[in-house]
């Protein structure tokens, strides 16, 4: 019966055996095939220039590639740092290079520089993210993908001769795990030789004490180990840029001409421009590309995938399974969704209960108010009733008195009509009636 599952394969791989070939087979042409394929495909190289406005970034790029890239001057009034990428197709012999130069426009021009590094970090991350998204696609086209990941950051240091600014240290610290940083002292012709020597030592000391990791030229490849080791000791390179050609002896050289003399860009006694070009372009360009992929991008990719819940293996060193991780994530997502649903339902029930209680309370208050008003009304009614009774009694008493007076008046009139001749007596009686009248009527 055929074995199923992992038991089918033995975990211990057989040791490869060395055999000698009887004649020429031809796989020794693999490196040539690789070169030929790479040349056909072309290369891309992306440089990020970080340094304050007017420090000489564009001039140095023009000097390095011996051409004129069309760049415009940055204004000193940018509200925040802005990244401006420009891509050029260059060709030297039969090698095609897609060169992207990214300028950090407005760097160092803001009053508050706390967040100056952020747009730069975000830009670098965005390029990593684009590459990761391409890698994660079902239909990938990495072969002709325009790789925009930053391979090197040239950090332009102002030639103050004093020390690094805190902006330099903070920015380089934020960038050092994301990109290969090569620090360079710009406009090195403005600083004297002895000052420059001290300045370089000071800068390196500050970078080390602040834990800033700059790019070290690799010394593991024998062919370039020696020169790279020597060059590492020259960092940071002090450079001068110029596209102006000046006649020195009978040769035209790129230089900066001053009333007191000429600074030759490619003269190693004058500045480190040649060292920079050698290290950046002629010796370590491929290493910079590779370090970007294997170190910086790898770190970004790992963090991103871990954030998404993917992990290599657990404690038992089980191999990573995309299917299992996906299932686990799906379950996690569904239970989270259920929990959220239950939470919302509970919230709704509570809200209804709360509203019900509030309404009941309002109803009770209204009822109490009604009862109170009712009591007040009854009291008022009772008082009015009492008043009415009193008035009625008064009216009755008045009527009775009125009737009595009328009766007396009519009696008096009757008596007067019976004895008309006895005038003196009548007068007496009349005054007597009037006294009765005045006594009876209040
Ligand atoms: P923005 O892109 O506007 O930020 O400027 P930038 O950093 O690209 O500087 P740019 O190359 O435009 O140079 C600004 C000025 O500095 C120009 O007048 C250059 O001639 C001068 N400059 C460039 N490189 C050097 C240098 O090595 N030494 C000296 N002394 N001046 C330089
Ligand atoms: Mg510029």
pLDDT, tens digit, for every residue of 11-47? 567 888 988 888 889 999 999 998 998 888 889 999 9
Quick one: how far is CA 213 from the chain centroid? 25
Q: Which residue has the higher pLDDT, 80 or 157?
A: 157
Most ligand 1 atoms within 8 A of CB, residue of 56, 73, 83, 255 to mutate: 56
Nearest CA to ligand 1 atom 21: 56
Percent of the chain past pLDDT 70, that is, above it, reads: 90
The answer to whether the peptide bond before residue 236 is cis (omega within 30 degrees of 0) is yes
Mean pLDDT of 159-168: 88
User: What is the CA(277)–ligand 1 centre distance, in A?
Assistant: 18
Long-range contacts of 200-203 (CB under 8 A, 24+ apart): 200/235, 200/236, 200/238, 202/162, 202/163, 203/157, 203/163, 203/164, 203/236
Quick one: how far is CA 82 from the chain centroid? 15
Q: Which residue has the higher pLDDT, 421 or 120?
A: 120
Ligand 1 binding pocket, CB closer than 6 Å? 51, 53-59, 73-74, 103, 187, 189-190, 240-241, 256
Confidence label for 2 from pLDDT (cuts 50, 70 and 90): very low
Q: Which residues contact 246 (CB under 8 A, 6 or more apart)?
A: 252, 253, 254, 255, 256, 257, 262, 264
Q: What is the mean pLDDT of the chain?
A: 87
Q: Which residues contact 89 (CB under 8 A, 6 or more apart)?
A: 96, 97, 98, 99
**How many Å apart are CA 175 and CA 152, to the nearest integer?**
11
Q: Is residue 58 pLDDT above 60, yes or no?
A: yes
Structure token pair of residue 93: 């012999």
Q: Helix, strand, coil shares of the chain as percentages rounded to 5?
A: 55, 15, 35
Q: Which residue has the higher pLDDT, 180 or 138?
A: 180
Burial class (CB in 10 A: 0-12, 13-18, 19+), 271: buried
Closest CA to 223 of 284, 276, 291: 284
pLDDT of amino acid 268: 85
Q: Which residue has the higher pLDDT, 311 or 150?
A: 150
Asked whether 235 and 204 are in contact (CB, 8 A), the reply is: yes
Q: What totals of helices (H) and strands (E) does the chain contain, helices first? A: 11, 9
Q: Is residue 438 pLDDT above 80, yes or no?
A: no
Which of the residue ranges 61-70, 136-145, 321-330 would you say has the lowest mean pLDDT? 321-330
User: What is the CA(56)–ligand 1 centre distance, in A?
Assistant: 3
**How many Å apart are CA 256 and CA 243, to the nearest integer?**
9
Read off the pLDDT of residues 343-397 as tens digits, 9 standing for 90 and up: 999 999 999 999 999 999 999 999 999 999 999 999 999 999 999 999 999 999 9
Ligand 1 atom nearest residue 239's Cα: 27
Structure token pair of residue 331: 């379950």
Q: Is residue 3 pLDDT above 50, yes or no?
A: no
pLDDT of amino acid 208: 94
Ligand 1 atom nearest residue 107's Cα: 4
Mean pLDDT of 100-107: 92
Mean pLDDT of 282-286: 92
Read off the pLDDT of residues 180-189 as tens digits, 9 standing for 90 and up: 999 999 999 9
User: What is the CA(69)–ligand 2 centre distance, in A?
Assistant: 10
Residues with CB under 5 A from ligand 2 (ion): 57-58, 71
pLDDT of amino acid 440: 47
Most ligand 1 atoms within 8 A of CB, residue of 47, 50, 54, 70 to mutate: 54
Of the listed ligands, the closest to the CA of 104 is 1
**How many Å apart are CA 135 and CA 377, to the nearest integer?**
85
Q: Is residue 178 pLDDT above 80, yes or no?
A: yes
pLDDT of amino acid 349: 96
pLDDT of amino acid 1: 42
Q: Which residue has the higher pLDDT, 422 or 155?
A: 155
Most ligand 1 atoms within 8 A of CB, residue of 55, 59, 262 to mutate: 59
pLDDT of amino acid 112: 81
Read off the pLDDT of residues 319-335 as tens digits, 9 standing for 90 and up: 666 777 778 888 888 99
Mean pLDDT of 283-300: 94
Closest CA to 73 of 109, 45, 42: 109
Pairing between strand 95-105 and 43-50?
parallel
Tell me, yes or no, if the pTM score tops 0.85: no
């Amino acid at each position: 019966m055929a074995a199923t599952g992992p038991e089918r394969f033995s975990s211990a791989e057989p040791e490869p055996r060395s055999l000698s070939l009887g004649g020429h087979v031809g796989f020794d042409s693999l490196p040539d095939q690789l070169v030929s394929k790479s040349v056909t495909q072309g290369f891309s190289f992306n440089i990020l220039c970080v340094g304050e406005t007017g420090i000489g970034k564009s001039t140095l790029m023009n000097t390095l590639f011996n051409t004129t890239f069309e760049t415009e001057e940055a204004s000193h009034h940018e509200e925040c740092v802005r990244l401006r990428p420009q891509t050029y197709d260059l060709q030297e012999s039969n090698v095609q290079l897609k060169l992207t130069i990214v300028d950090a426009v407005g760097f160092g021009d803001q009053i508050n520089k706390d967040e100056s590094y952020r747009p730069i970090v975000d830009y670098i991350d965005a390029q990593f993210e684009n590459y990761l998204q391409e890698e994660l696609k079902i239909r990938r086209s990495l072969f002709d993908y325009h790789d925009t990941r930053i391979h090197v950051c040239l950090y332009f240091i102002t030639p103050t001769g004093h020390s690094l600014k805190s902006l330099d240290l903070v920015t380089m610290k934020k960038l050092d795990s994301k990109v290969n940083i090569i620090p360079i002292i710009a406009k090195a012709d403005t600083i004297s030789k002895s000052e420059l020597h001290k300045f370089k030592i000071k800068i390196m000391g500050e970078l080390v004490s602040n834990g800033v990791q700059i790019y070290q030229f690799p010394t593991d490849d024998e062919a370039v180990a020696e020169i790279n080791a020597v060059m590492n000791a020259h960092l940071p390179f002090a450079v001068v840029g110029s596209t102006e050609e000046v006649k020195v002896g009978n040769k035209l050289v790129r230089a900066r001409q001053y009333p007191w003399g000429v600074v030759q860009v490619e003269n190693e006694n004058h500045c480190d421009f040649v060292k920079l070009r050698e290290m950046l372009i002629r010796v370590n360009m491929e290493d910079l590309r590779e370090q970007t992929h294997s170190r910086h991008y790898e770190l970004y990719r790992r963090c991103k995938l871990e954030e998404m819940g993917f992990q290599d293996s657990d404690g038992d060193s089980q191999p990573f399974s995309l299917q299992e991780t996906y299932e686990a994530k799906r379950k996690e997502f569904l239970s989270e969704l259920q929990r959220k649903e239950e939470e919302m339902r509970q919230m709704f029930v509570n809200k209804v209960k709360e509203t019900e209680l509030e309404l009941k309370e309002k109803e009770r208050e209204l009822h109490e108010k009604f009862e109170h008003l009712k009591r007040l009304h009854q009291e008022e009614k009772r008082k009015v009733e009492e008043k009415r009774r009193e008035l009625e009694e008064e009216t009755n008493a008045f009527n009775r008195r009125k009737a009595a007076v009328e009766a007396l008046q009519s009696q008096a009139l009757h008596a007067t009509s019976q004895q008309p001749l006895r005038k003196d007596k009548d007068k007496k009686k009349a005054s007597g009636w009037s006294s009765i009248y005045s006594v009876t009527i209040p």
